[in-house]
Structure 1
Amino acid sequence: MTEEAAISDKELDPNSTRGKIARFSSLLSQQIKNNWQQNYPPESRKHLRSFSSSEVSDLIGIAPATLRQMSLDNEGPQPARSDGNRRMYTLDQINELRSFLAEKRPGQSLQFDPRRRKDDGMQIVAISNFKGGCAKTTTALHLAQFLALQGLRVLAIDLDTQASLTEMLGVQPVLEVGDNETVFGVLRYDDERRPLPEVIRPTYFAGLDLVPGQSELQYFDYETPAAIISNKYVGDEYFIRRLATALRSVEDRYDVVVIDAPPQLSYLTLNAVFAATGLIIPVQSAMIDVASMNQFLYMMDEMLEQMAHFGAPVDHEFMRFLLTRHIPHDVPQVNIAAMLRSLFGESVLTAAVVETTAITNAGLENKTLYELEKGSVGRDTYNRAIESVNAANTEIFQEILKVWGRS
């Protein structure tokens, strides 16, 4: 701490606004640390549940009887047995089964092993919008896990200073993400800049890696205006190209990158939009959310015009709107959804993610729908929720496959 800072802190009036904020921040930070250490001690980490034979059959696309016979014939990985003597597979074993079947049935190899081939470009999907509460992070999280469940190699990048995606993927930002361990360390303009692979960490979810977020991400927005004025950073080092440039260093490791962009039009958001090959804009079918999205689109249009003017044009393989937190029997929401579909046509995904207590209850356990054990929520509630999430994610997956020339 500098002498000036020490004097400033010493003279800080505890009853002033700044004094109260400093005290509240310190108290809350300590309580969050205590809660995390109590609920998730170092020896207790998040683990992904195992999957039943019926779930595996659905994921891989083979009949349950075929899967059972493979187990009896000792073909492929051998599952564990549950207390009820049911066959249970880990996600690693499911991916082993995919590889086994792709080799055994070469004519169906793309069905069993959908990972990108040599000439397929790595897909970068940015999830972005202004409005808080539009399920942006929930969308990014479920999409990343869904794609990993399909057998793809996925990298999730958390660009939000709130770092909710990071926490949901089993990393506590306050305790476990140090300085220079986010994408800020990769994008910064000084000698402490790091290669992207150095800040990537594996998660408990097989096939899904993470670049975590935390509050230091804000520094990129503080430093970028001075970098722009300096005219030192051009070409691939230009402020808008820095994330795209970094991602080229991991093209051989991943099939898809999912970016959870900040809830504002920041320099980080612009980096995400520029790097992306696909853009998903989640929006709740309420007029206040649609009005906010309109501002997002208007400001984005102006920024893209400026970027093109300075030699950094942006185009995407696909851009889609996703209706989230949708209540199918709410007449105003239905009308707004119909309005968006009439205005934007096929740019609105057919599936809408329904408003459901299943996602809320899963979040209370620091889990997603894909991680919930059966029986954690009511069967009908869970089925409605997972069907809507799967339908939306399947549409996005199909967009990726189209880019790869598979449909």
Structure 2
Amino acid sequence: MDTTVLPPVTLDELALLTRRASTVIDRLRERVFAPGTQKQLDLRFNVRTAAEMAGRTEKAIRDAEADGRLPAPEKDDTTGRRNGYALSDVNRMREVFGTLPHRAADDPPLVLAVQNFKGGVGKSTVVTHLAQYFALKGYRVCVIDCDSQASTTAIFGLNPDVDVDEEEDTLYPFFRHGGPKSLHYALRATYWPGIAVIPANLGLYDAEYEFAARMAREPTFILDRLREGVETISDQFDIIILDPPPALGMLSLSVLRAASALIIPAPPNNIDFASTAHFLKMMEATLSELSRHGGARSYSFVKILASKMNDQKSAHVAIKRMMDAVFPQDMLQAVLKDSAEIDNATANLGTVYEMTGPGTRTETHRRCRAYLDAVGREVELLARKTWPSHHRALRKEGLL
């Protein structure tokens, strides 16, 4: 007598489930990546905001426009009013006024990994918003997407299934013997002035198996290849942000070897905090083991960021208090709070920083933007502390 209540799920049925899931993703991407369109940055700044961003007065901007050092902003054909300044216009002002915040040529670039082996902790949210925060400040930023899920790639306007060739455009070719000598081949400009991206797609998932198979034969090549690649492009950027996969694999290990600093997003709930504690233990053991093959690595800073924080949940508040007590020197003071604004932006493969229109004038948006800015300012200060050329200014500002 057959006592099975539930029939077995066959591979054919799993394949059908996969196709249905792909259909949902395809529909979302069709909406975001409509044929013949490209993602654009629609941000515009009035002269007061542009002056604050450029570190000069409104009069200085007007004078520079009057004497031809700066072009005047375009005017609306109907109203005759100025359309405002794009981020590229603000960066041109910074060039003219000498206020671009770049590191000096002999300062090391910050190679920042946003790392946690657990998924769902807000890693890609932190990567994309940090990159855009730095771009708004005028820094030169590169984002390297090492995650085969390619969420960061999609947010920066590239359809991983259409616009990215795993054989040519991702990190994959660089890890092959006889591959490119530098990562320049994979750099892609984005619709954000100042941000370049090395994209990812599902092909990196297959690469994990290939790298693992080669690990026993050539551990140093696999572990340090990404670090060597980052060095080939480092002269072009102030900050290079690495977005690793949420798993302990070859790419994650390569990211740990390539990074000069770490941000660890950790939501303040029991499961995620426990996972972060395990991650730290695994990271210590892993780096100790890796040091036997390629030498010890140190970091300029390692900071834990409380992400997806909800002040209305007593458990979140209690665990955050415990995190502050256990890691008094290691927590970022800023907190990335749970926000519908981030969820809504992500649902449209975007970010809070690129939102425009009436929705940006709500209290919810302003509050979310304040959280993101606070995280960005704190990480920016840490970055500047790694650049000797900034130390004098930091002392003058009372920050060092």
The TM-score, its normalising length taken from structure 2, stands at: 0.88
- Report the Cα distance in structure 2 between the residues aligned to 1:329 and 1:68, rounded to whole angstroms: 47
Question: How far apart are the structure 1 equivalents of 2:264 and 2:31?
Answer: 36
Match of 2:398 in 1: none
Whether 2:111 is the aligned partner of 1:115: answer no
Q: How far, CA to CA, are the matches of 1:284 and 1:84 in structure 2?
A: 49
Q: Confirm whether residue 47 of structure 1 aligns to residue 40 of structure 2.
A: yes
- The answer to whether the aligner puts 1:76 opposite 2:70 as a matched pair is yes
- SS at structure 1 position matched to 2:263: strand
Answer with 149-158 or 52-61: which moved more.
Answer: 52-61
Map of 1:20 onto structure 2: 13
C-alpha contact (below 8 Å) 1:161/1:215 kept by paired residues: yes
- Alpha-carbon offset, residue 136 of structure 1: 0.5
Tell me, yes or no, if structure 1 residue 182 matches structure 2 residue 182.
no
**Partners in 2 of 1:323 and 1:81 — Cα distance?**
44
In structure 1, what residue type is equivalent to 2:195? L
Asked if the contact 2:166/2:200 (under 8 Å) is kept, the reply is: no
Residue of structure 2 in register with 1:3 after alignment? none
CA contact (8 A) 1:50 1:88 kept: no
Measured against aligned partners, the alpha-carbon deviations of 1:89-138 in whole angstroms (never above 9, x if no partner) come to 11111110001011xxxxxxxxx111121111111000011232211000
1:151-195, CA deviations, whole angstroms, 9 ceiling, x for partnerless residues? 11111011111110011100011111112221122123x445574
**CA distance in structure 2 between the aligned counterparts of 1:271 and 1:329, rounded to whole angstroms:** 38
Report the count of equivalent residues.
Answer: 379
Structure 2 residue aligned with 1:220: 207
CA–CA separation in structure 1 for the residues paired with 2:340 and 2:63: 38
Alignment-mate amino acid for residue 55 of structure 1: T
Q: How far apart, CA to CA, are the structure 1 residues paired with 2:313 and 2:45?
A: 36
Task: Look up the equivalent residue of 1:164 and give its one-letter code.
Answer: S
User: Quick check: 2:212–2:250 contact (8 Å CA) kept in 1?
Assistant: no
Q: 2 CA distance for matches of 1:157 and 1:386?
A: 24
Within a 5 Å distance, the mapping from 1:382-393 to structure 2 comes to: 382-393=365-376
Residues 196-275 of structure 1 aligned to structure 2 (within 5 Å): 196-231=183-218, 234=220, 238-275=221-258
Moved more, 195-204 or 75-84: 75-84
Q: Give percent identity, aligned residues only.
A: 28
In structure 1, distance between residues paired with 2:30 and 2:365 = 30
* Partner Cα separation in structure 1 for residue 350 and residue 239 of structure 2: 22
Structure 2 unmatched runs, 5+ = 1-7, 395-400
Check if 1:339 corresponds to 2:322: yes
Find the partner of 1:171 among 158, 176, 180.
158
Q: More deviation in 331-340 or 246-255?
A: 331-340
**2:92 pairs with one of 93, 96, 102:** 96
CA contact (8 A) 2:166 2:172 kept: no
Q: Distance in 1 between matches of 2:198 and 2:130?
A: 16
Distance 1:338-1:160 versus aligned 2 partners, 3 A rule: same
Distance 2:233 2:164 in 1: 21
Q: Secondary structure at the match of 2:15?
A: helix
Q: Please, what TM-score do these two structures have when normalized by structure 1?
A: 0.87
Equivalent residue for 2:263, pick from 276, 280, 283: 280
Residues 353 and 32 of structure 1, relative CA distance in 2, 3 Å threshold: closer
The change in CA–CA distance for 1:205 and 1:137 in structure 2 (over 3 A counts) is same
Unmatched runs of 5 consecutive residues or more in structure 1:
1-14, 103-111
Q: In terms of mean alpha carbon deviation, does 340-349 or 38-47 score higher?
A: 38-47
Q: 1:35 to 1:372 in 2, by over 3 A?
A: closer
Q: Measure how far apart 1:51 and its partner are.
A: 2.0
* Aligned residue in 2 for 1:85: 81
Runs of 4+ in 1 over 6 A off after TM superposition: none
The 1:194–1:178 alpha-carbon spacing in structure 2 relative to 1, beyond 3 Å, is farther
1:56 and 2:56 correspond? no
Indicate conservation of the 8 Å contact 1:265/1:300, yes or no.
Answer: no
Which residue number corresponds to residue 395 of structure 1?
A: 378
> C-alpha distance in 2, partners of 1:29/1:336?
37
Q: In structure 2, how many angstroms separate the alpha carbons of the residues matched to 1:239 and 1:39?
A: 36
Which amino acid letter does the alignment assign opposite residue 197 of structure 1?
H
Measure the CA separation in 1 of the matches of 2:82 and 2:319: 46
